[in-house]
Structure 1
Amino acid sequence: MPKAYVFTRYGGPETEALVDLDRPSAGPGQLVVAVRAAGVNPVDWKQRTGYRRPGGPARELPAVFGNEVSGVVEETGEGVTGFAVGDEVFGNPVAGGYAQYAVLPVTTTAHKPAGLSFTDAATLPVAAATAYDGVRQLGLPSGATLLITGAGGGVGVAAVQLARAAGLRVVGVASEAKKDLVESLSAVHVPSGPELAERVRAAAPGDVDAVFDLVGGEVLEAAATLLTDRTKLITGADRETVARLGGAPVARARTAAVLDAVAALAVGGELKPYVTRTFPLELAAEALRTVEEGHARGKVVIEVAE
């Protein structure tokens, strides 16, 4: 039977297991994909603790981890057009992607360009698309200064690149261990930790025009003090705090058109996925711990053997 990495109840890592599951079937408007790669994101372990997107459905348990995959179409559901068995695709699964098979809705699935590997494509539906949506939401003019917290993680690395491609000056907050990575992306690095606002002012004199937060909590609160216009404060990590501070969450488009756009940027060289570690499905627990413990530089991807 096909393998999948799941959580059997809400809680910590002790709830996780690699199990056998029946191969899923495609419903109307859906595809069954033989997964070749699955991106690992903080939202994956957060869902294990009980988090769900506002308005999102509750997960059936056991629940498969993962929110972005690439692979090959094995089956098409009723009413599907534009996709056929054998097509190479990437997108957001309906209910998990750390598995040998996943179900994808056609509304959030795109064709994988030939010039993009399965591993790189699996980093785009969550990390790169979130970065793309956030940078567009801020709508800053060329030359403006954007502060990005969590700049060394998967979304952060993509956001720095997209902001730089848009002509923005970028200040990236990340740990000292990720300084070289942040600076390699042509951003000004500021180490995370207490007295963040003071260090940002020292490292990048002048006004900060917007903040793209990917950490939340105290980091988000400190970054907000650098802004006079809180409408230019967005987060992909902490909806409650950003609402209290007068900002907004990243407005996710969640469309195939966005996936096509970020794939084109990746193929064109404006967006490098920065996959720094890969793991086989059998070591999904190790992949998830790397992200959950905050040690990931760039993107972590699970590769699924054919």
Structure 2
Amino acid sequence: MAKHWIAPTWGAPETWRFVEYEPSAPVQGEVTIRVHAAGVNPADAKHVAAPRPGVELPEPIGYEVSGVITAIGPDTGIVTGPASVGDEVIAFRVRGGYATEVTVPAQKVLRKPATLTHAQAANLLLVGTTASAMLHAVDVQQGETVLLHAASGSVGMSVLQQAAVLGIRVIGTAGRARFDEVRRFGGIPVEYGDGLAARIRAALADAGVERIDAALDAAGTDEATATSLDFVEDRQRIVTIVARKAASEHGFLASSGSQPETARYRDEVRERLVELAEQRLLTVPMAREFRLGEAPAALEIVASGHPGGKIALVP
């Protein structure tokens, strides 16, 4: 018998239950995955924190997993091609990933990059597609320079790696203790806080660059908004994934997976991210692994805002 986490009521992870269940047998267009790791994201808790349209309780928890196919529906392939029982795969934007086994639509399943552990692979696509969508939204081009707020966060580190592949220079804000992580992935770190604008100008001068071409905000702070507006005149070249109210007030872009156009783009870029990981051009820095039964504790670390990398649940 499999086990999974469900939200029986609206509320925090402490109200969830870890229960036995029987995954449905896969029909055409579905596969069943034995989960080796589940990615942990802030959205997992937000999804059931309060009533929302289209969500009925009890709701299974978890958006992305890495594991092995244990059953496959007839005449069914996955996004990256034919598949068989025993194949290592990842699945993204699924329902119920916090599980020992789960049946999901094959259109959400891709081969697992052999270069990543299951814990890393289970955390590849949410941050990876979010980062790619940010770069896409501001139409950043080779040779340009972008300002990235929260460069040492999980999305920020994926932005840094993808920008390096595209030939884009990144000046990234971070705490001083995280400068090495920013440099590791090719970014130019600057410390956030009072005097940020002056430090950005100094970084530009040191790099021999005249201007910031676009700004990406993964921090959501007033400082991030103000600094982005200060350095980038064209507000269609500023994007945030957190400060949606500020984006509306000041006329710059907000990117979210709930937007149909953004969701389509994220689906389109999944295979490219798998390929980058296979080429060792994209990795997922990890902070910690928890046992699957410790999901609330894992989410508490994520909610702190400074986990230092991604977190996975391991059955």
Task: State the match for 1:151 in structure 2.
Answer: 151
Task: State the match for 1:275 in structure 2.
Answer: 286
Q: Which amino acid aligns with 2:294?
A: L
Which is worse superposed, 128-137 or 191-200?
191-200
Asked if 1:290 is matched to 2:301, the reply is yes
Change (3 A) 1:28 1:234: farther
Q: Which amino acid aligns with 1:245?
A: H
- In 1, Cα distance between the equivalents of 2:138 and 2:109? 25
- In 2, Cα distance between the equivalents of 1:176 and 1:103? 43
Task: State the match for 1:59 in structure 2.
Answer: 55
1:33–1:73 contact (8 Å) kept in structure 2: yes
User: Where in structure 2 are there 5+ consecutive unaligned residues?
Assistant: 256-261
Q: Which amino acid aligns with 1:84?
A: S
With the length of structure 1 as denominator, give the TM-score of the two structures.
0.86
- In 2, Cα distance between the equivalents of 1:191 and 1:65? 36
Asked if 1:176 is matched to 2:176, the reply is yes
Asked if 1:254 is matched to 2:270, the reply is no
Q: Which amino acid aligns with 2:283?
A: K
- In 2, Cα distance between the equivalents of 1:223 and 1:77? 51
Show CA shifts across 1:127-172 (max 9, x none).
1122123223333222211112222222111111111221111111
Number of residue-to-residue matches in the alignment? 299
Task: State the match for 1:229 in structure 2.
Answer: 234
Q: Which amino acid aligns with 2:152?
A: G
Question: Identity percentage over the alignment?
Answer: 33
- In 1, Cα distance between the equivalents of 2:96 and 2:151? 26
Change (3 A) 1:198 1:71: same
- Superposed, which structure 2 residues align to 1:6-85 within 5 Å? 6-26=6-26, 28-50=28-50, 58-77=54-73, 80-81=76-77, 82-85=82-85
- Of structures 1 and 2, the larger Rg is shown by 2
Structure 1 position 219, deviation (Å):
4.4
2:64–2:94 contact (8 Å) kept in structure 1: no
Task: State the match for 2:276 in structure 1.
Answer: 265
Q: Which runs of 4+ in 1 moved over 6 A?
A: none
3-state SS of 2:156 partner: helix
With the length of structure 2 as denominator, give the TM-score of the two structures.
0.84
Structure 1 position 291, deviation (Å):
1.1
Q: Which amino acid aligns with 2:250?
A: L
Structure 1 position 238, deviation (Å):
3.6
Asked if 1:245 is matched to 2:250, the reply is yes
Q: Which amino acid aligns with 1:68?
A: E
Structure 1 position 293, deviation (Å):
0.8
Q: RMSD value over aligned CA atoms?
A: 2.5
Structure 1 position 265, deviation (Å):
0.9
- Superposed, which structure 2 residues align to 1:86-97 within 5 Å? 86-97=86-97
Q: Which amino acid aligns with 2:295?
A: A
- In 2, Cα distance between the equivalents of 1:137 and 1:203? 25
Change (3 A) 1:113 1:161: closer
Show CA shifts across 1:78-136 (max 9, x none).
65233332222112143131111223322222112434332222122211122123223
